[in-house]
Amino acid sequence: MQRDQIEAMLAFGQDNADAMVKSGAAAVKGAEDMAKAAHLSASRAMERADGAFKAALACRTPADLADLQNRLARETIEQAIAESRAYAELATAMVTEALSPWTARFTALQSVFTPTM
């Protein structure tokens, strides 16, 4: 092997190592974002539960309580759907960001093996 070929292989390996570090950093950041979202969701759920308990205590009739229960059930389902959508978007962004350095490396690898004409 010639010296320039060895240097090219070493540079390619270094670029792969850099991609691994960037990918790992993106995955960690994405996991942190997911954890923050989960914490925020739990905090909001506690606030909603407190509000629901206070609203239930303020009900004067069984009909008021039934109306409250229906409203809370609808709001809970809507909130769950919204949070699921937000988690899916965060997860998609995390995976996209984490795979981005590897996509570039595979493109570079493909260019090495693609014959030039």
- Is 57 a member of any domain? yes
Give the dihedral sign, CA 31/36/42/45: negative
Residue by residue, DSSP assigns 55-101 as: HHHH--SHHHHHHHHHHHHHHHHHHHHHHHHHHHHHHHHHHHHHHHH
Give the pLDDT of residue 108: 84
- Is 18 a member of any domain? no
Four-point Cα dihedral 105, 107, 108, 109, nearest 10: 90
Using pLDDT thresholds of 50, 70 and 90, give the confidence band for residue 2.
Answer: confident
Residue 29, pLDDT > 70, answer yes
- Is 76 a member of any domain? yes
pTM: 0.75
- Is 114 a member of any domain? no
Using pLDDT thresholds of 50, 70 and 90, give the confidence band for residue 103.
Answer: very high
**37-95 tens-digit pLDDT:** 999 999 999 999 999 999 999 999 999 999 999 999 999 999 999 999 999 999 999 99
Give the pLDDT of residue 28: 96
Dist CA 30 CA 61 (whole Å): 47
- Is 80 a member of any domain? yes
- Is 87 a member of any domain? yes
- Is 17 a member of any domain? no
Q: Which tokens go with 100?
A: 């981005």
Give the pLDDT of residue 101: 94
Domain count, the chain: 1
- Is 4 a member of any domain? no
Contact 105, 15 (CB under 8 A): yes
Domain enclosing residue 76, as ranges? 29-96
Q: Which tokens go with 107?
A: 């493109």
- Across the range 13-29, mean pLDDT stands at 94
